[in-house]
Amino acid sequence: MNAKKVKDSQVEMRELVLPNDTNPLGTILGGKVMHLMDVAAAMSAMKHSGRTVVTVSVDHIDFLSPIKMGQIIVIKASVNYVHRTSMEVGVKVWAEDFKTGRKTHTSSAYFTFVALDESGKPTPVPKIIPETEEEKRRYREAEKRREERLARKRI
């Protein structure tokens, strides 16, 4: 099984925020943002693993800034770390004003996925190759988060 580069797992999604996506304040529903984050993260994990994947955990999501109707929601995801059958995917979200091009960071989270074989059992995935300094930093930090997740699971 060949290792793959982080850049090969990168996904970017964009969507116009429409009235059906918003609450009475005219800002996107938090559940819609979480759904889109999960979809982008799953696509990143599938690109890396070449397998069907399932979400097994999501680390803390803060909504830092609202995304208004008429703005564009931009979601970027890439695999940060790989264990044997699991992958941590980092997801970052921005609101983009299509008139000015100005982007505002609105939320981030880490999703963990497990790759499944044809019978629905966990299956090994390729190792990840972080190339840039930022990718190497995210890899190291993801290793620490994995240990923290495992410690919480043992409690």
Q: Domain residues of the chain, as ranges?
A: 4-154
- In angstroms, the CA 125 to CA 77 distance is 18
CATH topology of domain 4-154: Thiol Ester Dehydrase; Chain A (3.10.129)
Question: What string of pLDDT tens digits covers the 155 residues of the chain?
Answer: 799 999 999 999 999 999 999 999 999 999 999 999 999 999 999 999 999 999 999 998 999 999 999 999 999 999 999 999 999 999 999 999 999 999 999 999 999 999 999 999 999 999 999 999 999 999 999 999 999 988 888 88
Cβ pair 64, 107 in contact under 8 A: yes
Query: Which residues neighbour 59 within 8 Å (Cβ) at sequence distance 6 or greater?
Result: 109, 110, 111, 112, 145, 149
